[in-house]
């Protein structure tokens, strides 16, 4: 326990999950070092560390709710996804409360935000999520690999990243080798998903500040980019494209060339619009100093992905991926909406460069590992995997028995990043909330599971 | 100045309905049963092959539910003699049964569910305002609804807008299998919508619950909670199909699928041209 505290103090929590009768803490220390796993036996309760390490907060509430394990010493337990239990909101004496949601004004997923405001200024925000809870993790229990893959594709907002993280975990657990061509094709899909995701929220940011021209142009590039993902996989979001052991599609040289050419045109167009937009004084004025997060806060909450990189925390799992070498994570130091927008834009540029590289030198060979399934009936295997999704680090842990999934733990990047929103809006004007929310681009479904 | 030049150079992005309803060559279509190829062995293989349990056999009837299909194309690739491909995006229907293909194994022919009912006349209005409610959706069906408003699809040219409040809406677009936690919010949104009001179930999750159907955390479809006027299948429902659903609700398009198939003069069409009847001419 003491070593765990020490490592948590200097490192970052990746995931906390329960594989009865042990709690598993996965903590990443200094950069480059493989994450350390700590096991703590827990049958009815476990010592709470949330007060000391706020990154553990939602994980501990989740354990209490899902497995009935009581975190001893947790200040005030509240449900996370179970709406049948009473939920007392934090109240600030003398302030006006503005409840927003679960049904929002835009076309987005549901969630409830309780603002405590003084005039227009937000003093405090409390999130209440769980509206999207579909019991995904429980549906995995006993599912065949094919069905589990469908569930993974629908667990959060990023189909490819979720499918990839699930497949990788199963492949590590079972020892299935993925052929090099499939590995690279998977990265192509992952980058395409990241790019149209990023372009989508950039278009959203421009809409929110009333810059309709840029929003339309960026939206157009996004739509055409999505068309290229469909061109490759037959699905607009890349579903059904990945399989355990490889990918379910192949590219002929003609398509490869055409997609590459189309992408380089789109890259030029994105470049022109995005960089022009971020030179516009009105745009800069509207985004700068809005919704700031300090680096210390980001560390404390254990933020991941573009939100963390916009605070100067240069961690990107692609650093560890041999196919991306050399790789330098995009970082900015401002921590505000502008810094996050800059990270998105720079990553779009970076993503286009990697796509071009992946599509120009595609290894030849099979796209799927053939042969028989290596595990015997009833053979037990466990493994975890991590993928740098567009929103940040995505974690999957699986326990397999033969060809069936016995248990999974999914940690969507949004699960770690939602709390940042509560801190980012403090002291900001209420009308800026949509802008700040959009800049984090959080998935409700991925968090609620 | 630069923006003006760029705008002129971009030209018109909006596509005609005919173009929008054509499925791109690289996307798999919907499966459609071929009764003559459904031998006992093939049926058993289809039931095993489908990862989302879209096929079902009950007594003398073999069924394929398009609202449970995830469009992976495994079935028609493995058994082309028993399953064909229906390449259309005009898949919105007003009746749930019109998404289910039923084959009577004794006679080897399709069960005819009868002509589809018309959509409600009081919603056949020149403009319709919609409120979108996501009820346990992955988020992609919602994105697709938003994309139906992009310059390529431009749903506003048919008089459709998405409004912020249910008080201003004529109909609700509901996505997702309706999670237990969203049930009350959905019902209250429906109550807040003034009469006459319609409900469109967007995506397979909203129609059948799809892969979430067995979870105790979801209702397993919007029609378990609210009366539904139009069902738009898809995983997620594509913007063009959503547009077709809205046109169907507003009386500007006719239903193309009957009993899960496109039937014209007793004969199936392999490739479907968009229905012209009742569709307003566009640019």
Please, is A174 exposed, middle or buried when counting C-beta atoms within 10 Å of its C-beta (0-12, 13-18, 19+)?
A: buried
Flag whether pLDDT at B125 surpasses 70. yes
**Residue ranges of the domains in chain A?**
2-88, 136-412
Q: Which residue of B has its CA nearest to A224?
A: B152
B138–A445 C-beta distance less than 8 A = yes
Which residue of B179, B210, B218 to mutate against A (max A Cβ within 10 Å)?
Answer: B179
Q: What is the pLDDT of residues A329-386, one digit of tens each?
A: 999 999 999 999 999 999 999 999 999 999 998 898 888 887 788 888 888 899 999 9
Distance from CA of B13 to the nearest CA of A (A): 9
Model confidence pLDDT, tens digit, residues B38-67 = 888 999 999 999 998 999 999 899 999 999
Q: Taking all residues of chain B, what is their mean pLDDT, rounded to a whole number? A: 87
The angle subtended at Cα A423 by Cα A417 and Cα A424, nearest 5°, is: 85
**For A181-203, how does the pLDDT look when each residue is reduced to its tens digit (9 = 90+)?**
999 999 999 999 999 999 998 99
Tally of CB atoms within 10 A around B96: 17
Asked if A14 and A395 touch (Cβ cutoff 8 Å), the reply is yes
The low-confidence residues of chain A, meaning pLDDT below 70, are 31-32
Q: Which of B26, B139, B150 sits opposite A223 (nearest CB)?
A: B150
Instruction: Judge: A103–B6 Cβ closer than 8 Å, yes or no.
Output: no
Distance CA A441, CA A419 (A): 13
Q: Which of B163, B217, B241 to mutate to test the interface with A (most CBs of A within 10 A)?
A: B217
Contacts of A101-107 with C-beta under 8 Å, sequence gap 24+, read: A102/A131, A102/B182, A102/B185, A103/B131, A103/B133, A103/B166, A103/B185, A103/B189, A105/B164, A105/B165, A106/A434, A106/B164, A107/B132, A107/B134, A107/B142, A107/B143, A107/B145, A107/B146, A107/B162
- Predicted confidence band of residue B272 (pLDDT cuts 50, 70, 90): very low
Mean pLDDT within B263-275: 46
Residue B1 is predicted with a pLDDT of 54
CB contact under 8 Å between B28 and A239, yes or no, is: no
DSSP string for residues in chain B = -HHHHHHHHH---PPPHHHHTSPPTTS--EEEE-GGG--HHHHHHHHHH-TT--EEEETTEEEEEGGG-----HHHHH-TTTEEEEB-S---BSSGGGGEEEEETTTTEEPP--SPPPPPGGG--S-EEEEEEESS--SHHHHHHHHTTSTTT-GGGGTEEE-S-GGG-SEEEEESS-BHHHHHHHHHHHHHSPSS-EEEEESHHHHH-GGGTT-TTB-SSGGGTS--SEEE--TTPPHHHHHHHHHHHTTSS---EETTEEEETTEE-SBPPPP-TTPPP--
Question: Which of A48-52, A370-374, B3-7, B128-132 is modeled with the greatest confidence?
Answer: B128-132
Residue A231, pLDDT score: 92
**Residue A217 near chain B (CB below 8 Å):** yes
Tell me whether A280 touches chain B (CB under 8 Å).
Answer: no
Tens-place pLDDT, residues B8-34 = 877 888 888 888 888 988 888 999 999
Give me the residues of A, 118-177, that contact B with CB < 8 A. 130-136, 138-139, 144, 146-147, 149-151, 154-157, 159
pLDDT at B260 (0 to 100): 85
Domain ranges (residues) in chain B: 121-254
Spatial CB neighbours of A212, under 8 Å, sequence gap ≥ 6? A206
- A102 touching B (Cβ < 8 Å): yes
Per-residue pLDDT, averaged over B131-149, amounts to 91
| pLDDT surpassing 50 at residue B211 | yes
Q: Say yes or no for a CB contact (<8 Å) between A239 and B235.
A: yes
- Which of the residues A132, A221, A242, A265 would you substitute to probe the B interface, choosing the one with the greatest number of B C-beta atoms within 10 Å? A132
Q: Which residues contact B59 (CB under 8 A, 6 or more apart)?
A: none
Buried-exposed string B177-211: b where 16+ CB fall within 10 A, e elsewhere: bbbbbbbebbeebbeebeeebbbbbbbbbbbbbbb
d(CA A367, CA A185): 8
Q: Does domain B121-254 have CATH number 3.60.20.10?
A: no
Nearest to B244 by CA among B196, B200, B197, B190: B200
A403 touches chain B (CB under 8 A): no
- Written out in words, the top-level CATH class of the domain with range A136-412 is mainly alpha
Helices (H), A250-389: 253-277, 281-287, 295-301, 305-309, 337-360
Residues B180-198: pLDDT tens digits?
Answer: 999 999 999 999 999 899 9
B218–A150 CB contact, under 8 Å: no
- Contacts with B145 from chain A: Cβ below 8 Å: 107
Query: What pLDDT, on the 0 to 100 scale, is given for residue B166?
Result: 93
Q: Which of A170, A183, A138, A161 is closest to A384 using CA atoms?
A: A170
pLDDT at residue B282 greater than cutoff 70: no
Query: What pLDDT band is residue B279 in, cutting at 50, 70 and 90?
Result: very low
Cβ distance B138 to A240 less than 8 Å, yes or no, reads: no
Which residues of chain B lie closer than 8 angstroms to A107, CB-CB? Answer: 132, 134, 142-143, 145-146, 162
The predicted structure's pLDDT at residue A408: 95
Q: To 10 degrees, what angle do helices A57-67 and A413-424 make?
A: 130
- Nearest Cα to Cα of residue A304 among A413, A145, A205: A413
């Amino acid at each position: 326990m003491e070593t765990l505290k020490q490592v948590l103090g200097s490192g970052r929590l990746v995931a906390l999950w329960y594989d009865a009768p042990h709690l598993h803490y996965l903590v990443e220390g200094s950069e480059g070092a493989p994450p350390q796993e700590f096991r703590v036996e827990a049958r009815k309760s476990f010592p709470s560390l949330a007060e000391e390490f706020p990154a553990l907060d939602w994980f501990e509430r989740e354990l209490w709710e899902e497995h009935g394990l009581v975190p001893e010493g947790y200040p005030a337990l509240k449900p996370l996804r179970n709406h049948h239990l009473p939920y007392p909101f934090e109240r600030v004496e003398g302030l006006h409360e503005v409840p927003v949601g679960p049904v929002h004004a835009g076309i987005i997923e549901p969630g409830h935000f309780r603002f405590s405001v003084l005039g227009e200024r937000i003093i405090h925000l409390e999130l209440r999520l769980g509206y999207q809870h579909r019991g995904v993790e429980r549906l995995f229990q006993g599912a065949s690999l094919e069905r589990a893959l469908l569930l993974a594709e629908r667990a959060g907002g990023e189909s490819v990243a979720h499918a990839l993280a699930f497949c990788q975990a199963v492949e590590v657990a079972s020892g299935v080798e993925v052929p090099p061509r499939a590995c690279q094709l998977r990265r192509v899909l992952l980058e395409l998903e990241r790019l149209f995701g990023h372009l989508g929220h950039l278009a959203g940011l421009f809409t929110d500040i009333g810059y309709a021209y840029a929003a339309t142009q960026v939206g157009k590039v996004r739509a055409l980019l999505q068309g290229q993902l469909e061109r490759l996989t037959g699905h607009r979001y890349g579903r059904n494209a990945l399989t355990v052991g490889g990918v379910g599609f192949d590219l002929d040289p003609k398509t490869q060339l055409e997609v590459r050419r189309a992408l380089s045109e789109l890259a030029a167009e994105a470049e022109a619009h995005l960089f022009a937009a971020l030179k516009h004084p009105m745009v800069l004025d509207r985004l700068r100093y809005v919704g700031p997060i300090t680096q210390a806060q980001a560390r404390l909450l254990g933020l991941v992905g573009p939100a963390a990189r916009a605070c100067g925390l240069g961690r990107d799992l692609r650093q560890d991926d041999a196919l991306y070498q050399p790789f330098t994570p995009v970082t900015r130091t401002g921590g505000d909406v502008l810094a996050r927008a800059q990270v998105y834009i720079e990553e779009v540029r970076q993503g286009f460069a990697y796509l071009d590289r992946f599509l120009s030198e595609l290894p030849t060979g099979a796209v799927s590992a053939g042969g028989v399934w290596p595990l015997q009936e009833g053979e037990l295997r466990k493994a975890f995997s991590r993928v740098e999704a567009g929103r940040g680090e995505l974690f999957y842990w699986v326990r397999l028995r033969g060809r069936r999934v016995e248990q999974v733990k999914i940690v969507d990047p949004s699960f770690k990043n939602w709390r940042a929103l509560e801190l980012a809006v403090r002291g900001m004007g209420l009308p800026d909330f949509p802008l700040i929310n959009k800049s984090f681009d959080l998935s409700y479904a991925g968090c609620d599971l | 100045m630069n923006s003006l030049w760029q705008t002129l150079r971009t030209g018109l992005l909006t596509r005609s309905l005919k173009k929008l309803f054509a499925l791109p060559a690289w996307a798999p279509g919907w499966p459609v049963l071929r009764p003559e190829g459904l031998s006992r062995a093939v049926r058993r293989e289809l039931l095993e092959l489908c990862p989302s349990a879209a096929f079902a056999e009950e007594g003398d009837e073999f069924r394929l539910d398009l609202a449970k299909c995830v469009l992976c194309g495994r079935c028609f690739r493995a058994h082309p003699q028993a399953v064909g491909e229906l390449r259309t995006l005009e898949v919105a229907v007003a009746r749930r049964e019109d998404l289910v293909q039923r084959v009577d194994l004794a006679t080897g022919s399709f069960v005819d569910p009868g002509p589809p009912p018309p959509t409600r006349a009081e919603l056949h209005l020149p403009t319709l305002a919609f409120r979108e409610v996501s009820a346990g959706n992955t988020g992609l069906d919602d994105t697709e609804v938003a994309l139906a408003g992009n310059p390529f699809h431009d749903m506003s040219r048919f008089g459709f807008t998405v409004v912020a409040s249910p008080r201003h809406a004529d109909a609700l677009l509901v996505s997702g299998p309706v999670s237990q936690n969203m049930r009350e919010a959905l019902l209250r949104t429906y109550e807040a919508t003034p009469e006459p009001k319609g409900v469109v179930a967007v995506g397979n999750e909203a129609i059948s619950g799809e892969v979430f159907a067995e979870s105790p955390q979801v209702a397993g479809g919007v029609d378990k909670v609210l009366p539904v006027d139009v069902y738009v299948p898809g995983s997620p429902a594509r913007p063009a199909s959503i547009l077709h659903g809205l046109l169907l609700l507003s009386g500007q398009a006719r239903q193309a699928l009957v009993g899960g198939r496109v039937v014209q003069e007793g004969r199936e069409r392999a490739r479907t041209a968009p229905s012209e009847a009742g569709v307003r001419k566009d640019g």
